[in-house]
Chains A and B, each alone.
Chain A
Amino acid sequence: MFKILKYSFYDLIRSRWTYIYCGFYLLFTLSLLWLSNDLSKVVISLMNVVLLLCPLIATMFGVMYYYNSREFTELLLAQPVRRTSIFLGQYLGVAGSLSASWVIGVGVPFALYGVFGSEQAGNFAMLLFTGVVLSFVFSAIAFFIALKNENRIKGFGLAILAWLFFAVIYDGLLLLSLSLLTEYPLEKFSLIASLLNPIDLSRILILLKLDVSALMGFTGAVFRKFLGTGFGMAIAFGVLMLWVAMPVWSIKRVAGRKDF
């Protein structure tokens, strides 16, 4: 598995797209830092970016990579290598290279501006962490969808739809149900509902760092009480890990059964 991971990783590291992706973050972060020169403001703008771009790029990249390396995969399948290690290796290669691009692209400019040791270090660590987790989650989902669908167009469409669902539609449905059920006590419902979406969960973890003032209000108190404690944080991180583990496990299962 590690050999395949290594191949995929090196393959991707050499790929033009990885460089473009990494270069984009590098340029974007640098220009933000250069324009505002205020670490905290840049962290806030990047937090909005991470929730949108990381999942989107991970989804696209995951599907694209799977379909593009299909011939290589078939070649590998002919060899005495375990299926799970082929697919997991490839998946980890994609997720790893995406995360590396993200961490380098954002981390280097911040390190140059001296984020370590500043009071923004905690927020920055949270930013990097959510970026990495979202990359892992969404490339896994993309891989799973690609494995399920031989048809490339359909696969792409479904992957984009999955991203759209988690990024936009889910929130819309949640807002709709909240406003329809407004007579009922909804704090717990909204809390659980937001745990079920990795993007929402990451967003709330970030909110707890940024919009503390708003969350101190009556309704926010529920979230703060839950997620502000060590226990709540542990659950939030646990659920995020689950969001990585679940698609990976599905990949393993589907890959084991699939007829090539």
Chain B
Amino acid sequence: MFRWIFVSTLSLAGQAGLLANTLQVCKSCPVSSIREAIQMARPCDTIFVEKGIYAEGNILIDKELMLIGRDKPVLDGEGKTEIVTIAANHVHFEGFVIKNVGISYSQDRAGIRVKEVSDFYVKNNRVENAFFGIYLQHAKNGTIEGNEVVGEAVNETSSGNAIHLWYCDNVLILNNITHGHRDGIYLEFVNFSTIQGNHSERNVRYGLHFMFSNDDIYRGNTFLDNGAGVAVMYSRRIGMFSNVFQKNWGPAAYGLLLKEIHDSKIEGNTFQENTVGIFAETSNRIVYTKNNFIQNGWALKISGGCQQNNLIANNFLGNSFDLAVHSAGTDNLFDGNFWSDYAGYDLDHDGIGDVPHRPMKLFSYVVSNTPESLVLLRSLFVDILNLSEKVSPIFTPENVVDNKPLLAESN
């Protein structure tokens, strides 16, 4: 009789196992360690981790599991190791606080590492005081959502990136917050990915950094007060839509730095109060449209070797310099923008100024040759210089001209 009951419960338990079990980890539970729980669990199980501090060194998730932290349990690395390593497909990791990874100069330690897997979901975690925050390598088809990665980086060499992607495909990075790291979000060899709704603030180097990554989109992100807002380098076919670049201030600070990037689209972004809104170097076939440049030092600096860029229907409002183009003879197009210092008229009332506008001022040219002359900004002499140059351009490239300047802001 007893034996029969025992056998039947055993078989029931076996069946339930197939349907996925749940395990609970807490300090007073039968299972008090996350490592132990992972060992006991079978694929497709869910592990709930209750509130508490778990200092278990490296936690390796090598099975298809769902780990969910309740009331923000803390995983403390005590400054010695990497903390969470996800090394299985279909892992869901949610709701943890990950702390104290510790700086290493020999390995790239991370708060959460996603290693050579697909279909992962890392959600609503908080990573504090980490070297690298969330590190994805050779990962694909996953989502990083709603995480907060907060560091206290002082310089570039002793800090890692908040969210770091290396050789990844088709990843969605959604609504994360990054503070105080080297780069907020770093992408190297990452293709077909979307970065959306993130907030990068006070990172030492860049808010978002692309290297050798193609066919990506970033949309609706905010980059505030970073060393530079976003750097897009050696990449192709990047879509940059509706982002906000703000207060990226400093000697080498840009809202957006473009270096060797081709065939991309920059649309509907706002660049406000940056030292340089966009700095473009050898970047070809880029369409800038419907962006707002507001009160930047330089709205747009285009250096030599940039060709076939189209600047259409943007608003330039109250920048110290709207445009600085370094080389003549480029075939870039600057038509149909609104320039707040346009002084022409519109006799036929079609909303387009009858006099072409030259956004590149002589003083902008002078400053690029003699940077110290910036001290004369807004002086009467400089205004007179600009006026005379405007009447008959000698120094500024003649083809940098907006033939259809708008009379009112476009939206």
Please say whether chains A and B are actual partners in one complex. Answer: yes
Q: Does B28 contact A (CB under 8 A)?
A: no
11 example contacts (A-B, Cβ-Cβ < 8 A) are as follows A44-B318, A168-B380, A168-B384, A178-B372, A179-B369, A200-B376, A207-B378, A213-B274, A213-B295, A218-B252, A220-B297
Q: A190-B373, A194-B375, A218-B251 are in contact. Are A213 and B273 (CB under 8 A)?
A: yes
Q: A212-B273, A217-B276 are in contact. Are A203 and B379 (CB under 8 A)?
A: yes
Interchain CB contact under 8 A, A214 and B298: yes
Interchain CB contact under 8 A, A179 and B374: no
Interchain CB contact under 8 A, B321 and A214: yes
What is the CA–CA distance of A169 and B250 in the complex, to the nearest angstrom?
32
Q: Does B320 contact A (CB under 8 A)?
A: yes
Partner of A216, one of B297, B372, B379, B381: B297
Q: A213-B274, A214-B298, A218-B251 are in contact. Are A179 and B366 (CB under 8 A)?
A: yes
Partner of A171, one of B273, B275, B374, B380: B380
Partner of B370, one of A179, A193, A218: A179
Q: Give per-residue flags for B361-401: 1 if the beta carbon is below 8 A from chain A beta carbons, else 0.
A: 00000100111111111111110100000000000000000
Residue of B nearest to A40 (CB): B318
What is the CA–CA distance of A151 and B351 in the complex, to the nearest angstrom?
55
How many of B's residues come within 8 Å of A, CB to CB?
33
Residues of A within 8 A of B375 (CB): 174, 190-191, 193-194, 200, 204, 219, 223
Residues of A within 8 A of B321 (CB): 214
Residues of A within 8 A of B380 (CB): 51-52, 167-168, 171
Docked complex: B83-102 residues within 8 A CB-CB of A: none
Interchain CB contact under 8 A, A211 and B371: no
7 closest A-B pairs by beta carbon, nearest first, are A214-B297, A171-B381, A214-B320, A213-B297, A186-B372, A216-B249, A218-B251
User: What is the distance, in angstroms, from B32's C-beta to the closest C-beta of chain A?
Assistant: 53
Partner of A211, one of B366, B369, B377: B377
Interchain CB contact under 8 A, A168 and B251: no
User: What is the distance, in angstroms, from B179's C-beta to the closest C-beta of chain A?
Assistant: 21
User: What is the distance, in angstroms, from B380's C-beta to the closest C-beta of chain A?
Assistant: 5
Partner of A214, one of B373, B377, B382: B377
Partner of A175, one of B250, B274, B298, B376: B376
Q: Does A11 contact B (CB under 8 A)?
A: no
Partner of A213, one of B249, B252, B373, B376: B249
> What DSSP secondary structure best describes chain A's contact surface?
helix
Residues of A within 8 A of B381 (CB): 167-169, 171-172, 175
What is the CA–CA distance of A111 and B381 in the complex, to the nearest angstrom?
32
Residue of B nearest to A200 (CB): B379
- A175-B382, A213-B295, A215-B297 are known; give 16 further A-B pairs, CB within 8 A: A51-B379, A172-B381, A175-B373, A179-B366, A190-B375, A193-B375, A200-B379, A203-B378, A207-B377, A211-B320, A213-B297, A214-B296, A214-B321, A216-B275, A217-B298, A221-B251
Partner of A187, one of B274, B295, B369, B372: B372
Residue of A nearest to B363 (CB): A175
Docked complex: B329-382 residues within 8 A CB-CB of A: 366, 369-382
Q: Does A79 contact B (CB under 8 A)?
A: no
Residues of B within 8 A of A179 (CB): 366, 369-370, 373
Interchain CB contact under 8 A, A216 and B382: no
Residues of A within 8 A of B249 (CB): 212-213, 216
Residues of A within 8 A of B25 (CB): none
Q: A178-B372, A213-B275, A217-B297 are in contact. Are A171 and B382 (CB under 8 A)?
A: yes
Docked complex: A141-178 residues within 8 A CB-CB of B: 167-169, 171-172, 174-175, 178
Residue of B nearest to A185 (CB): B372
Q: Which of B319, B321, B379 has the most CB of A within 10 A?
A: B379
Interchain CB contact under 8 A, A217 and B373: no
Residues of B within 8 A of A206 (CB): 378
What is the CA–CA distance of A221 and B371 in the complex, to the nearest angstrom?
11
Docked complex: A204-253 residues within 8 A CB-CB of B: 204, 206-207, 210-221, 223
Residues of B within 8 A of A216 (CB): 249-251, 253, 275, 297
User: What is the distance, in angstroms, from A205's C-beta to the closest C-beta of chain B?
Assistant: 12
User: What is the distance, in angstroms, from B310's C-beta to the closest C-beta of chain A?
Assistant: 25
What is the CA–CA distance of A206 and B379 in the complex, to the nearest angstrom?
11
Residue of A nearest to B321 (CB): A214
Residues of B within 8 A of A199 (CB): 379
Residues of B within 8 A of A182 (CB): 369-370
Q: Give per-residue flags for B114-143: 1 if the beta carbon is below 8 A from chain A beta carbons, else 0.
A: 000000000000000000000000000000
What is the CA–CA distance of A52 and B380 in the complex, to the nearest angstrom?
8
Residues of A within 8 A of B296 (CB): 213-214
Residue of B nearest to A206 (CB): B378
User: What is the distance, in angstroms, from B303's C-beta to the closest C-beta of chain A?
Assistant: 15
Partner of B378, one of A174, A178, A211, A220: A211
User: What is the distance, in angstroms, from B384's C-beta to the closest C-beta of chain A?
Assistant: 7
Residues of B within 8 A of A194 (CB): 375
Residues of A within 8 A of B376 (CB): 171, 174-175, 200
User: What is the distance, in angstroms, from B376's C-beta to the closest C-beta of chain A?
Assistant: 5
Residues of B within 8 A of A203 (CB): 378-379
Residues of A within 8 A of B384 (CB): 168
Residues of A within 8 A of B369 (CB): 179, 182
Interchain CB contact under 8 A, A178 and B373: yes
Q: Give per-residue flags for B229-253: 1 if the beta carbon is below 8 A from chain A beta carbons, else 0.
A: 0000000000000000000011111
